[in-house]
Amino acid sequence: MDNDKLVNPCVAQLIDANLDRAREGIRVIEEWCRFNLTSKDIVISLKDFRQTLGLHHHWNYKRARSTAKDNGIGLSHPYQETRTSSIDILAANFSRIQEALRVIEEFARIVDPNLSVSSAKIRYSLYDLETKVIKLSKGSNRRLKLNNSNLYLITNHDRVKIKTITNALEAGVRLIQFRLKEGSDKDKLIEAKKLASICKDFDALLIINDRIDIALACDADGIHIGQEDLPTSTTRSLIGEDKLIGKSTHTLNQLSMAESEGCDYVGVGPVNQSKTKPKTKALGTTYLEEAIKISRLPCFAIGGINNLNLHDIVSAGATKIAVCNAIMNASDPFKTTKDLMNGLK
């Protein structure tokens, strides 16, 4: 644009306002991607968008700025108060940028064709980028919740005991694994969807054991696989980058492999003989201590853990445990859960 070209002051003012709005929104998302997602490629793209718009932000637009005459300054909307998560903030800012760019694209068409074209290109690029950033951010939030979870409740083989699980959630559990081997696929999906709804109410993570199809069908937070299940790479390609993958490990080599394959957490055990898997040999606390020392992933000690032997597990260095029968078969699931959580502190 020729900086000396006369532009309708109202058009210049709205282009100026929307350039500011778009650049500010891009900066909000850029900083999130820089510090939370640590995604260099996305940050570079966003910075390029912001700098491109900056080059088009000519003096003719800036000198038309008049905050005193702008009746929109300071106006807010009740929906702004409903943003309670980072995902809400990201979605709002992507919308803000896209709307601002559309305004610029339309009005710059007659006074600044180059700006109009640039705005359109950036707007279309942001549609795909929004999906990617939101997915990565959901994955980041899930991994943060995972790291903050010390007690992992696994359902047992029979029908899901909704009341027991709800008691555990009320006591503070925020990580549940749905493990149901019996029954039809239809029944399993019905149970999984019930659990997904309950976990959502408590802002808890739901992991599905083995079944990727059920995990996807109920929009679970992740999948747990064993050594004989699908390879981690295949599981990841099916479940997506934003979902969690946990893997059962029984040797130090398996633990190292799970880490190199990109798993998000590992189960370490069985530490004690377990009623859930009675034929699997207990590995003991010495092995648990070795595993915790070498692993950079969140390690959940598993296998016959309860309030009677928890002290030994903690003494071996464990800060995270996975239990099934200790809570699922407890006469008072709420109290048992509280006792286990207190024992981990």
Contact 264, 245 (CB under 8 A): yes
Q: Across-strand partners of 153? A: 176, 323
Longest dimension (CA), the chain: 84
Q: What is the sign of the dihedral through the CA atoms of 311, 327, 319 and 234?
A: positive
Tokens describing residue 171: 């006591």
The catalytic residues are 179, 248, 277
How far does Cα 272 stand from its chain's mean position?
Answer: 32
Q: Across-strand partners of 176? A: 153, 206
- Which helix (H) or strand (E) is 224 found in, with range? strand 222-225
Contact 42, 125 (CB under 8 A): no
How far does Cα 332 stand from its chain's mean position?
Answer: 32
Nearest to 172, CA basis, from 157, 192, 153, 193:
153
User: Locate tokens 């957490």: which residue?
Assistant: 265
State the Cα torsion 229-232-233-238 to the nearest 10°: 70
Contact 225, 236 (CB under 8 A): no
CA 323 to CA 156: how far, in whole Å?
10
